[in-house]
Amino acid sequence: MISPEQVLAALRNVEDPDLKKDLVTLNMIKDLKIADQQISFTLELTTPACPMKDMLKNACLNAIKHFVSRDAEITINITARVTKPMDTNQLKDIRNIILVSSGKGGVGKSTVASNLAVSLAADGAKVGLIDADIYGPSVPTMFDLVGAKPSARETEEGRTLILPIEKYGIKLLSLGFFADPDQPVPWRGPMASNAVKQLFNDADWGELDYLIVDLPPGTGDIHITITQGFPITGAVIVTTPQQVALADTRKGLAMFKMPGINIPVLGVIENMAYFTPEELPDNKYYLFGKDGGKALASSFDVPFLGEIPIVQGISEAGDKGEPIALNTSNIISAAFAQIAGKVAQQIAISNAQTAKS
Ligand SMILES: Nc1ncnc2c1ncn2[C@@H]1O[C@H](COP(=O)(O)OP(=O)(O)OP(=O)(O)O)[C@@H](O)[C@H]1O
């Protein structure tokens, strides 16, 4: 007769390589049931986008076969419960707020933010996206929602809440939904800061695993408003390989590390890293130099999350209002999915570290 203690003892040999503890200690094994040689349990991961899902499942199977019984019939259900960096009453139903930031404009920050949102949602996470780019909100275009206006609802306490617009399984709010698209710089100074705060505080987000925030480029008032005003899990930095972009990215990255701000940098993504013709994906032309983003990440001792090439389909998909990651048969979509997995992984690591400190 196999006992639960035997199975748990076997699973104590399986370590989560990121969190550096075994799965039993991490409380990831749930609903263990045993009937003769049949063993079933749920493996509760820290994110549905976990890149190590299969590896951990196989390690569990092997550990039970090795330490308990070769003949056991093992069923493992995989679920996820996304962790939070801290328990606060502020925005308590939003588990993680992730800032997507860039030193310079036009490097593809909104493209990356939108495709990350799509990839995380495709893995089964509950995702929201705030477009806080006061200079040129692009989420309405990228999600084919130009001219859309969110509705509102009244709470029992008499508060009015904005209802995010849901598209492709993502809850969306953009400053662009509240401005005239033909106005050149619709939001300025305190008005912009107040509008951005409202997108967080006065919206009916419901429960979210990840709220991704597309920031304006550079370091300005909006950055201060958001970093000081809300419990932020971490920031993802987008750069391109050109020296001018990398120089500005350094400043952007340094801002998050400043003592008064001190937001974990989850990593650097290099967009437009190389040119590749869609019909010849193995041909890579590093037009603006190679590995600049990687070198930048290593000089700040933050993770490098991956590179995205310049591909015509990315901008075409964005302009059409259907982020390229929606088309899962595409290799670019696979690249975004891989980066999204790494972002989710870094969030879990960062949250585990915050919980410890
Ligand atoms: N990897 C890529 N390959 C091809 N085109 C891209 C790629 N990344 C972004 N683009 C295109 O480059 C343009 C700028 O991208 P995007 O709007 O995402 O940049 P941004 O950094 O958010 O800009 P802004 O500073 O205006 O907010 C868009 O037309 C987008 O479709």
pLDDT digits (tens, 9 = 90+) for 150-199: 999 999 999 999 999 999 999 999 999 988 767 665 677 788 899 999 99
220 is in an annotated binding site: no
The amino acid at 317:
A
Residue 294 alpha carbon to ligand 1 centre in Å: 20
Indicate whether 97 pLDDT > 90: yes
Residue 183 has a pLDDT of 67
| CA 318 to ligand 1: nearest atom | 31
Residue bearing the CA closest to ligand 1, atom 11: 315
**pLDDT, tens digit (0-9, with 9 covering 90-100), for 241-295:** 988 889 999 999 999 999 889 999 999 999 999 998 878 878 899 988 899 999 9
User: Where are the domains positioned within the chain?
Assistant: 4-80, 97-356
pLDDT given at position 278: 74
Taking the CA of residue 112 as reference, the ligand 1 atom at the shortest distance is: 18
Is residue 116 predicted with pLDDT exceeding 80? yes
Instruction: Select 97-356's CATH number: 3.40.50.300, 3.40.710.10, 2.40.50.140, 3.40.50.880.
Output: 3.40.50.300
Give residue 101's pLDDT band: very low, low, confident or very high (50, 70, 90).
very high
Q: Is the CB of 103 inside a 6 Å radius of any atom of ligand 1?
A: no
Q: Is 68 annotated as a binding residue?
A: no
Mean pLDDT of 70-78: 96
Whole-model pTM: value is: 0.94
pLDDT exceeds 80 at position 202 = yes
* Mean predicted confidence (pLDDT) in 294-311: 95
Q: Ligand 1 center to residue 46 CA distance, Å?
A: 31
Cβ within 8 Å of residue 8, ≥6 positions away: 24, 29, 32
Ligand 1: centre distance to CA 220 (Å): 20
- 234 assigned ligand-binding residue: no
Rounded to the nearest integer, the mean pLDDT of the chain is 93
Ligand 1 centre and the CA of 106: distance in Å?
5
Phi first, then psi: give them for residue 20, nearest 5 degrees.
60, 35
State yes or no: 110 annotated in a binding site.
yes
Is any atom of ligand 1 closer than 6 Å to the C-beta of 133?
yes
> What CATH number labels 4-80?
3.30.300.130
* CB 209, CB 49: distance < 8 Å: no
As a whole number of angstroms, the distance between CA 240 and CA 105 comes to: 10
d(CA 8, CA 3): 9
Nearby residues of 308 by Cβ (< 8 Å), 6 or more positions away: 108, 112, 269, 270, 271, 272, 273, 314, 332, 335, 336, 339
